[in-house]
Structure 1
């Protein structure tokens, strides 16, 4: 066994379990750290440093956490979250680590958990379900911190209901072809002045990919299907194409240009479908925290 994988033999079992839990929770343990006095924090931090890499131990710590007895107030938190509109709940947790998502799923009602899984990125859903198989007890103080955090986020979402509604419309419009999107936005603006502009500001389109940082663009290009990428770049705006070519080698860029030119004339609808696929991939990568978001055509015209 690798030396890094062996737990420190002289750590008390309770301290070792707490250290594994804090490691599993990561940034989500901030509320717990805030409750510890300096000596407790130093002791726990030292224990975390001495523990080896132990995914099974972290999974067991989360399992114990999930099985810990809940207070009436905690029950109310999970009841409220289970009743929350599913897209809002998915937006609340889609950027959390898989361990945390698994823990949340274990506390929601079965129906709410099922709806949530269908609204999360597939990779995150699968990872969370695998961790849910081995979830364990987590210290009540850690659970209380998580519940407090989620309760605060849920209240904030409730206050932002109008914004959330605009975001849901924006996600729909993201997937429309440019002509239909323009028509619907105009109709929405006519029916409710100001709403169209709000939705437009929340949309994430193919040309918005140009705002990705270098690391984000390179991650996207590495994950993209080459045929989809080539089709999406056909007739792309200069700024969007430049952002792509700036993140590949000179030789790779030359090959891309040759392949794009070799496509010949294409229907606008085919290009829009490829661009929508690339945007959806970017969304999934953003949802998993792998990249950060930056920020009038005929659907069937031929692009030379």
Structure 2
């Protein structure tokens, strides 16, 4: 069946304005050919009509239309086109079957950050295989979240990927599907979400962090607060430049009032970061206060640490210091 007859059958199957809109987008020569085909007395068999609609479903699936709009959107469009809710439902059911048969379809409804979180511990070859089956936009989102070195490894494997035996794809998919279902059924509880997202957010550019958190804050400010707490913990202060400690951080009032308690139970690296960047007199006073403090409740220590972290975050927001949670690669 040639393209002109397929187009004629497709337009005859559609109802309402959509048929006219599609017709208007054809070139004038094609419009004339399609009109001739529509006007011809040749009957359209049920098999021909079914074949054309199967081709249409195949195009929808291959173009990733379901990924950007969702099956509900597709069903609404089809109902408008065919003038029948039942026909639209039948079409979307068939489309869902096609989608479900696509390798790694378990990621269809997952955000890029969720896919990254799931794949982050896999080897580059496996990640490359999965990304090659995802819609390009989602694959790019996932790839962007990996550290630069691993991004390069994954991209190299995607670029060199040849035809892979279906059996090999099925084996990888089966292994990942078992892990995916296990994580969905018995894995993380609800409060783990902000912790997981915090880890992911430390991997993305500062501008994107701000954009995501700003959007999320309108819907769930409590989650955003927990994300911020987990994105930048008290142990992370060791990654701040020494000059910031000798300058703006050292002048914070909370350093005088809360630091001794905050350092109780902290690692030696954190203590050294604060104490070695202080004037000798202040250092002696903080160490003396720490030694004089009786055993403290963990919640009180955590509260003191949060006070200091909040003030440090304000310095960063004001552009006075820079916090980099990703260790940059060094080249000799």
Normalised to the residue count of structure 1, the TM-score between the two structures is 0.40
Q: Determine which structure has more spread, i.e. the larger CA radius of gyration.
A: 2
Greater relative contact order (Cα < 8 A, sep 6+): 1
Normalised to the residue count of structure 2, the TM-score between the two structures is 0.38
